Structure 1
Amino acid sequence: MPVFDEGKHGGGSGSGNVVTVEVDKDNATDAQLRLARARYSPTLVVGDRTTGCPGGAPFDRVIATCSIRRVPNAWVAQTRPGGIIVAPWGPEYGGEAVVRLTVGGDGTASGRFVGSSAFMRLCQPRSARPSSLEYLSGPWPAGGAKSATSVSPEDLGGWLAMFAVGAQVPGAFPLTERYADGSYTLWLHDTAITSWATADWEPDRAAYEVAQSGPRSLWDEVAAAWRWWDDQDRPGFDRFGLTVTPDGHTVWLDSPDNPVPLRN
């Protein structure tokens, strides 16, 4: 099944004005046969979906049916000013929502998230997610500083909460180690493999043991991000937005003039 569709600009209606890009040759062949049986005839390209289809640009619409962490610059460049990009977007930490971006004439795109989503990630180079053991330098607590927190690991597990935290804490991700008695340890890792943190959840507790080590105090970052979201009355996906420029991405709340704080 094609996972990235582009509506071609200026050619009227009909499937002949659509370009679809699929990275897997077998999937592309199967999709082409099914489309032909349904009497649709889009242009089907086999290749890297992050590069789009330069030969077919400019496009009115770019629609991604795969989750991304970054909107490729090529998608923005190949969409005409005023055109729309719709894509499921999620930060490294987790959580995801569909964003609807309007492309400007200056190589940027901006718009709001319109609702929660959960799509397969785009097949592209991914940051390493090593096991927790690769972060530890010796026996427990492996040089980690211990403390306690009133922020429950349970508060951080929802899809929306993960999105709100991840938008503020780039380059970090969680793993959960569960035990037979129902308790668990929430591990936080950075993608640079320099820092880690743990928070131990047990039922009927108001404080939770934390350990963290490395140049980044990951638990402090994540807890501060969650408190910020809580202080804003836990806004939903529809209050968040995204601005894309050639230099990077900025997540904002309510307005592009109000970027979310970055914690690292």
Structure 2
Amino acid sequence: MLAERLAAAGWLPADWAGSFAAVDRGAFVPARAWVDDEYGSPHPIDRDADPTRWRAAVYADVPIVTQLDDGATVWPATGGHATSSASQPRVVLEMLTALDVHPGHRVLEVGTGTGYNAALLAHRLGDDQVVTVEVDPTLAELARARLAAAGYKPMVICGDGAVGWPAGTPYHRVVSTAAVVAGHVPYPWVEQTRPGGLILTPWGTPFRNGGLLRLTVHDDGAATGRIVGDAAFMRLRQHRAAAPFGHAARLGDLLDASTTAEESTTTVRPLEVATGHAAFAIGVAIEGVQSGVFPDAEPGHVEVLLYDVRSESGAAARITPTADAAGRWPVRQHGPRRLWDEVETAYTWWALLGRPERTRYGVTVTPTRQQVWLDHPSNIVPTP
């Protein structure tokens, strides 16, 4: 049913149709999980208590959250942060298509999660051609059991995916279902991939987590490639420190309470700064700044919050109908960094470049450095 829906929408390529029809997503989603509402807040679903609602979610093109706070938050509690999920099927397909696998290819997957993606790969390539690594022991054991119950037996390793799995090398493809932070693509992935092979990973910055990076590995030990799409995934655990959880409300309150905050206005549209291609470019240009968009209860009123945990700095731009009509939005800034000024400078730099889309950016990874470039590997973009 899910495969038919994806095919009808034009999202299911022919070479993955058989695997999507054969592998039951429901066999990999736990009986108790969470589904995000329209505001991105998780709400519990229970297969035993409400099987209709559970099935409607599992066989829809939506992500299913399967773990909060590394398991510390126990269902049906909904506080905290999502740390594992069954990804949106359409995004799964986009990534598998970009991975460009063929019969005979050997694949390393980083981030087993539920095991669903590993099952799709195993169905397409064969069990012996797939190695999947999961850092969380509980998730690894559950995935191993679900895969076996569904008739698949790829090698499931409990370990740190950032170091790959050297015993299974060389791989034709490496795919990560966890995001990496700019400047920190794990070099073991490059070392363990054949020359000519591909590495596919969600890639982003603290400011904008969401680019899908595809690298080609070369004979000289370097890897280069472009951003080929959008994929906002949870970060590798060792990369979370670059954008730590749970500080937006605290730093927003600190900014609101400040009696020394600097007040000004801006003619740069706040939502453009925080979303899309501009946000991608801004994230490349500045260091350590996170952002959030927070609608108020009053229609048309939105706050765009910028914050830096390390320096305890914050800035907020207020969107209101009056500000929209005037084309000038009020800004408050607090702390040793003037975050809005930094972001506005980066925005102006991006606009002067001609507002390039994220797919014009690329990355080079070598044993000693990682560089971002625009249009060509020789055109290096300055980064912090």
Q: TM-score, normalization: structure 1?
A: 0.83
Matches within 5 A, 1:1-264: 7=106, 14-37=126-149, 39-69=151-181, 70-124=184-238, 126-127=240-241, 128-129=244-245, 130-131=247-248, 133-134=250-251, 140-181=257-298, 182-203=300-321, 204-262=325-383
Distance 1:138 1:50, change over 3 A: closer
Between Structure 1 and Structure 2, which shows a larger proportion of helix residues? Answer: 2
Residue by residue over 1:133-176, the C-alpha shift from the partner in whole angstroms, topping out at 9 and shown as x without a partner, is: 45887984443333221101121232333222211122110133
CA-CA distance at 1:106 after TM superposition: 4.3
Distance 1:248 1:211, change over 3 A: farther
CA-CA distance at 1:39 after TM superposition: 4.6
Distance 1:116 1:79, change over 3 A: same
Distance 1:149 1:261, change over 3 A: farther
Of residues 212-221 and 147-156 in structure 1, the stretch that sits farther from structure 2 once superposed is 212-221
Residue by residue over 1:62-119, the C-alpha shift from the partner in whole angstroms, topping out at 9 and shown as x without a partner, is: 1112222231122122223332111111111124121111123444321011111232
Cα distance in 2 between the residues matched to 1:191 and 1:111: 31
Given that 2:255 and 2:261 are in contact with CA atoms closer than 8 Å, whether structure 1 keeps it comes out as no
Given that 1:67 and 1:118 are in contact with CA atoms closer than 8 Å, whether structure 2 keeps it comes out as yes
CA-CA distance at 1:222 after TM superposition: 1.1
Cα distance in 2 between the residues matched to 1:200 and 1:249: 36
Given that 1:51 and 1:75 are in contact with CA atoms closer than 8 Å, whether structure 2 keeps it comes out as yes
**Unaligned residue ranges in structure 1 (runs of 5+):** none
Distance 1:138 1:148, change over 3 A: closer
Cα distance in 1 between the residues matched to 2:280 and 2:316: 19
Between Structure 1 and Structure 2, which shows a larger proportion of strand residues? Answer: 1
Fraction of identical pairs, as percent:
40
CA-CA distance at 1:255 after TM superposition: 1.1
Which amino acid is the alignment partner of residue 238 of structure 1?
T
Taking only aligned residues, the RMSD between alpha carbons, in angstroms, comes to 3.0
Which amino acid is the alignment partner of residue 83 of structure 1?
G
Distance 1:33 1:132, change over 3 A: closer
Which amino acid is the alignment partner of residue 208 of structure 2?
G
Which amino acid is the alignment partner of residue 196 of structure 1?
G
Cα distance in 2 between the residues matched to 1:159 and 1:258: 22
Secondary structure, aligned partner of 2:292:
strand
Cα distance in 1 between the residues matched to 2:209 and 2:248: 21
**Unaligned residue ranges in structure 2 (runs of 5+):** 1-27, 29-85, 88-98, 100-104, 109-124
Of residues 35-44 and 65-74 in structure 1, the stretch that sits farther from structure 2 once superposed is 35-44
Given that 1:7 and 1:60 are in contact with CA atoms closer than 8 Å, whether structure 2 keeps it comes out as yes
> Would you say how many aligned residue pairs link Structure 1 and Structure 2?
259
Which amino acid is the alignment partner of residue 124 of structure 1?
Q
CA-CA distance at 1:126 after TM superposition: 1.5
Q: TM-score, normalization: structure 2?
A: 0.59
Which amino acid is the alignment partner of residue 179 of structure 1?
D
Distance 1:44 1:138, change over 3 A: closer
